[in-house]
DNA sequence: CCTGCTACCTGATGGC
DNA sequence: TGCCATCAGGTAGCAG
């Protein structure tokens, strides 16, 4: 569950399910998911603690406990699943027909929350405090927070000589934007992804700021209807393709000018853009 | 400090 | 059908 809107939708859906509930115990069935932390220590840390709240920063989901936090990062394919019991999880997880890979599970008095990731890229970690998490601590301003202002964004852009696309993916500057929504935002703002971040005019950066915020809100709305259904092992976000204007549309006509959309590689990732209307 | 590259994994898809 | 290559919404770690 890739970018900020998807994680936000998961946070909102998860909060009422687990807030105020006590973690009975933790199962780590695939220790790679807690790497480089020790799975037994993570389990010991979280067991018997109550989840006070569920938060998000960038693409991280944060479970605030009585003491300390658990962080979840879904990377490319991670997802949450809900099982009625540990027995039900045993039956459904890590086997046919759905073959979901539950790497870490939090067991409650009623119900089990599974962190599943077939590629095992996703991570679950524990920390005594937010400051102790290097990943959280090094994040830049969250793209849907009120601190993400046009002025702030403009000054961040001015500090970087990197190609705009790579700048937008740098979570230490602005947190939450990923490959899809960076492409979409640059398309809406009509800015060429290859330009250096510090080459944008004030007007460019204001347009881009506006595009980012509106693209992320629109995606969030889409992610919330229908809301994720963690009980369905095949759940995933529906209808996101419909709101995309440029991502994944190589060789198809630009929705604005008809020019064929191009795909190029930047920083090892695909960028989709319109050569005619993005300057 | 900054930047660019690779590794980390599994699965879906398309060409031959 | 099978095999191979390529692609995937992300980041950590390392070399220069």
Query: Is strand B within 7 Å of residue A120 (CB)?
Result: yes
Q: Among all strands, which nt has the closest C1' to A178 (CA)?
A: C9
Active site (annotated) includes residue A59: yes
Residue range A141-273, CATH number = 1.10.8.50
From A59, A123, A190, A249, active-site residue: A59
For strand C, list residues 48-67 of chain A whose Cβ lies within 7 Å of it.
58-59
Q: What is the pLDDT of residues A179-228, one digit of tens each?
A: 999 999 999 999 999 999 999 999 999 999 999 999 999 999 999 999 99
The upper half-sphere exposure of residue A219, i.e. CA atoms within 13 Å in the direction of its Cβ, equals: 30
CATH code 3.20.190.10 region(s) in chain A = 4-129
Q: What's the pLDDT band for A53 if we cut at 50, 70, 90?
A: very high
Q: Helix, strand or coil for residue A246? A: coil
Residue nearest C12, CA–C1′ metric: A135
Mean pLDDT of A67-78: 97
- The nucleotides of chain C lying under 7 Å from a protein CB are 7-13
Active site (annotated) includes residue A5: no
Residue nearest C9, CA–C1′ metric: A2
Active site (annotated) includes residue A2: yes
Our measurement of CA A122 to C1' B7, in angstroms, reads 15
Residue A94 has pLDDT above 80, yes or no: no
Our measurement of CA A20 to C1' C11, in angstroms, reads 31
Answer yes or no: CATH 3.20.190.10 is held by domain A4-129.
yes
Return mean pLDDT, chain A.
Answer: 95
Mean pLDDT of A42-53: 98
CATH code 1.10.8.50 region(s) in chain A = 141-273
Query: Is strand C within 7 Å of residue A166 (CB)?
Result: no
Does the pTM exceed 0.95?
yes
Residue A58 Cα to chain centre, angstroms: 7
pLDDT at A166: 97
For strand B, list residues 178-237 of chain A whose Cβ lies within 7 Å of it.
none
């Amino acid at each position: 569950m890739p970018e900020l809107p998807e994680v936000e939708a998961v946070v909102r859906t998860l909060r009422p399910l687990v807030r105020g509930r006590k973690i009975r115990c933790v199962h780590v069935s695939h220790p790679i998911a807690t790497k480089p932390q020790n799975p037994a220590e993570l389990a010991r840390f979280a067991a018997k603690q109550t989840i006070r709240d569920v938060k998000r920063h960038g693409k991280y989901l944060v479970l605030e406990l009585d003491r300390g936090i658990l962080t979840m990062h879904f990377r490319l394919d991670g997802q949450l699943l809900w099982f009625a019991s540990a027995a039900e999880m045993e039956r459904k997880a890590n086997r046919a027909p759905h073959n979901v890979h539950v790497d870490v599970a939090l067991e409650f008095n009623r119900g089990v929350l599974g962190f599943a990731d077939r590629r095992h890229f996703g991570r679950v970690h524990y920390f005594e405090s937010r400051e102790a998490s290097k990943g959280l601590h090094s994040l830049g301003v969250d793209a849907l927070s009120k601190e993400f202002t046009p002025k702030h964004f403009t000054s961040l852009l001015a500090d970087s000589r990197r190609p705009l696309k790579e700048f937008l993916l740098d979570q230490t500057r602005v947190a939450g934007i990923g490959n899809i929504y960076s492409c979409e935002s640059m398309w809406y703002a009509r800015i060429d992804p290859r330009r250096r971040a510090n080459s944008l005019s004030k007007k460019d950066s204001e347009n881009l700021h506006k595009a980012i915020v509106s693209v992320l809100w629109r995606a969030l709305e889409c992610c919330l209807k229908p809301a994720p259904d963690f009980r369905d092992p095949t759940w995933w976000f529906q209808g996101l393709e419909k709101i995309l204007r440029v991502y994944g549309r190589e060789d198809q006509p630009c929705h604005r000018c008809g020019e064929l959309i191009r795909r190029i590689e930047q920083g090892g990732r695909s960028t989709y853009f319109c050569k005619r209307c993005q300057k």
